Chain A
Amino acid sequence: MRIFGLNRRIIRVLLGSQYAHMLEYRAEIALWALSGVLPFIMLSVWSGSEARTGLGLDGVALDRYFLSAYLVRQFTVVWVVYAFEEDALLGRLSPYLLQPLHPLWRYVAAHLGEQLTRLPFAALIAAVFFVVQPQAFWLPSLGGFLLAWLATWMAFAIAFLFQSLIAALCFWSEKASALERLQFIPFVFLSGLLAPLTAFPPEVRAFAQWTPFPYLIDFPARVLAGQPVDLMAGFGAQLAWIALLLPLVLLLWRAGVRRYSAMGA
C-alpha cells in the first residue's frame, strides 16, 4: 500500500541513499552540530545570573533542561525551504514532480538522513557536557525516553510542515525563504532555546502556548529532562498543530503545482 506514493521499500531505499548522501557532508554536519550550542551559552548566562531563581529550575535541573534543549534542537533542525527553493530555481524539482512519489518525501528522507549523521556528533557533545558537569548526568527511563523521542519527532513534524508551508510559497515567489527568516526571532524567544518557558511573564507564556514554538523545543526538552510537564496538553497541542498544518501544506502545494512554471528547466 502506498501513502502519497510511499511504501516500506521506498522508505528503506530512500533513507539509505539519503543517509549515504549526508555522510558525504559529515564534516559540515559536525560543524552544524557544534554551531548549535546556543543552549549551552544560555546555560552559562543563566547560571552566572541571579535571575536564574525566576526560572523555577535549580542548578542540575537547569543543566539538564539546556542539554535536552540542545539535543532536541539537533533533531528538529529543518532546512526544507532552502533546499526546495534552490531545487525550484535550478530546475531540479521538475524530475521529482514527474515521479510517482510526492517530492516532499525526498526532503523528509534528506532531513532524517542528516539527523542520523548528526547523531554521533550530538552524542559526543553530550558526553563532553557530562564530563564537564558530572552532577548533571542522568539516564531517562525507557518510557521517558520513548515519550521524549515521540515528542521530538512530532516537534520535527511541526517544524517541517511549517517550513514546507513557506516552501510551497516558492511557487508564487522565488525567494520565499525570506519569510522563513521572519519567524526566526519569535522561534528563538518562544521555543525555549534562550530560557525555559517558565522564565517568561504569565502573559507572554499564555501567548506562546497558542503558537507552535514551545512545542518545538521546550515541551520535548522537558519530557527528556524528566521535568514536570502536562503530557496530555503537550502532545495534544503537537497533534493539533500537525493536523492543522498538514492539510494546509497539501492544499497550498496542489495550488502551487498548478502555477509552477518549471523555471530553469
Chain B
Amino acid sequence: MIRVEGLSKTYRVAEKQPGLAGTLRHFIRRRTRDVVAVQDVSFQIEPGEMVGFLGANGAGKTTTLKMLCGLIHPSSGSVQVAGYRPQRRQADFLRRITLVMGQKQQLLWDLPPMDSLRVNAAVYGIPDQLAQRRINALADLLELGEELTRPVRKLSLGQRMKAELLAALLHEPEVLFLDEPTLGLDVNAQARVRQFLADYNRRTGATVLLTSHYMADITALCPRVLLIHQGSLFHDGPLDQLTLALAPEREVRFELEHPVTADALVGLGRLESLQGSSVHLRVARDELTSVVAALLDRFPVVDLEVNDPPIDALIGDLFRKGRV
C-alpha cells in the first residue's frame, strides 16, 4: 500500500544572528543553510497494517508524513501510496487518503461540525443519505452526539479532536496518516480515540501510519514501529523488540503523608526527583510489582501513579546511550 525508497527532504532555512547588527547583516546579505530533515528513508507498509512512527521532536516524522500524503515534494527518492505518486495530488488519490494533524483543524470555527461535514460530503462526492449514515456510525463510535450541532468554538479540545477525526474519515479513506491524533487530550479521551482507531482499522481494513508522543497509543495500536532519528530510519520491526530497548523502566510518582529523605528510598529504583513528600522514581519493568508493594508497606502513601516515560525522553535516552 505504501512504498518508500530512498526518500529525502532538504529545507533551505534563513539564518539570522540576534540583535540589531544581526538584523542589519541579515537585511543586507541574507544567509541560508540547508537542513536535512529526512535522509534516504525506505520502507514498505502492507494494506491494513497499523504502523507506529516514532522519533524525537525534529526527527523527521512529520516531514515524512507530509511527503507521503503529497503535501510537500521530496527532494529525492520515490513514494507510492495506493499506487499513486502523492505529490501529483490527483483527485482519485486524495479521495483514498487522509491526514490528521494534532490540533490543526479543518472544521469551520464558528459553525457546528455538521456544516463542515456537509461540505466534506459534497467535496468527496458522498451522496447525502450515505454521508448521514456514515456520520451516525462514526459519531456512535466516537461518542459524539449533540456536539455535532454546537459551534466548534464551544467544544472542548477532546470533542473538537473527535469531530476533526470524523471529518477526516467521512470519505472512508484507505490510508490514514495520523500525526499526534491524541495530543493534548485527557487520558479518557485518548483511550476513546485509540479504541476508535482500532475499530476503524478492523472494520474498513485501512492502512494506518501513526505518530504519537504517547507510548500508550503505539502499544495499543501498532504491532510494528518505524523509529526515525535525525532524518534516518533506525528501526523497522515489531514493537515488542523495541519496547524493552525503548522503555525498560517505568515512571513511579507518589505522594507521601510526610517528607522523606533520599536515603529512605534506596533500593526502590532510580530516584529522579524528591521534593518534600513528592517522589519520582524510575523502576525496571520486572521489579515494578515488588517495588510498589515495598513502597506501600514502608510508607503511608497518599497518591500513587505509574506511567511509561514520555517517548521523547526514552528516545533521547536511547540515542544518548548508543543503544540504537
Instruction: State the A residues within 8 Å of B (CB).
Output: 2, 5, 9-10, 12-14, 16-17, 20-21, 24-25, 91-92, 94-101, 257-258, 260-262, 264-265
The answer to whether B106 touches A13 (Cβ under 8 A) is no
Chain B residues 101-119 with CB under 8 Å of chain A are 101, 104-106, 108, 110-111, 115-116, 118-119
The answer on a CB contact under 8 Å between B99 and A14 is: no
List B residues 254-299 near A (Cβ within 8 Å): none
Q: Are B101 and A91 in contact (CB under 8 A)?
A: yes
Partner of B101, one of A20, A101, A265: A265
Instruction: Tell whether, in the assembled complex, residue B95 and residue A98 are in contact, meaning their CB atoms are under 8 Å apart.
Output: no
Q: Are A20 and B122 in contact (CB under 8 A)?
A: no
Q: Which of A17, A24, A98 contacts B118 (CB 8 A)?
A: A17
Q: Is B98 an interface residue (CB 8 A)?
A: yes
Q: Pick the contact of A20: B104, B111, B123, B168 (CB < 8 A).
A: B111
Interface membership of B191, Cβ < 8 A? no
CA distance A21 to B11 in the complex (A): 36
Residues on B with C-beta less than 8 A from A96 are 106
CA distance A234 to B108 in the complex (A): 38
Q: Is the CB–CB distance between A100 and B95 below 8 Å?
A: yes
- Chain B residues touching A, majority SS: mixed
Q: By the criterion CB–CB under 8 Å, are B94 and A100 in contact?
A: yes
How far does the Cβ of B57 sit from chain A's closest Cβ, in whole Å? 15
Please tell me if the beta carbons of B98 and A98 are within 8 angstroms of each other in the complex: yes
Interface size class of B (residues with CB under 8 A): 20 to 34
Report if B252 contacts A (CB, 8 A).
Answer: no
Is A258 in contact with B73, judged by CB distance below 8 angstroms?
A: yes
Q: How far is the CB of B255 from chain A (nearest CB, A)?
A: 39
> How many angstroms between the C-alpha atoms of A9 and B120 in the bound complex?
11
A-B interface contact total, Cβ < 8 Å: 82
Q: List 23 A-B contacts (CB under 8 A).
A: A9-B122, A10-B122, A13-B122, A16-B118, A21-B111, A24-B111, A91-B101, A91-B104, A92-B104, A92-B105, A92-B106, A94-B101, A95-B105, A98-B70, A98-B71, A98-B98, A98-B99, A99-B124, A100-B94, A100-B95, A258-B73, A260-B72, A262-B66
CA separation between A134 and B89, bound complex, in Å? 57
Q: Is there a chain A Cβ closer than 8 Å to B244's Cβ?
A: no
Shortest distance between the CB of B52 and any CB in chain A (Å): 21
Q: In whole angstroms, how far apart are the Cα atoms of A102 and B70 in the complex?
A: 15
9 further A-B pairs in the complex, CB-CB below 8 A; given A14-B119, A21-B111, A100-B91: A12-B122, A13-B119, A13-B121, A24-B111, A95-B104, A100-B124, A262-B71, A262-B72, A265-B104
B134: min CB distance to chain A, Å:
16
Inter-chain CA distance A24–B153, complex, in Å, is: 12
In the complex, A13 Cα to B125 Cα: how many Å?
12
| Bound form: Cα–Cα A9–B127 in Å | 10
Most buried by B among A5, A17, A20, A95: A95
Q: Are B111 and A17 in contact (CB under 8 A)?
A: yes
| Chain B residues within 8 Å of A265, by CB | 66, 71, 101, 104
- Listed residue (B69, B106, B122, B168) with the most chain A CB atoms within 10 angstroms of its CB: B122
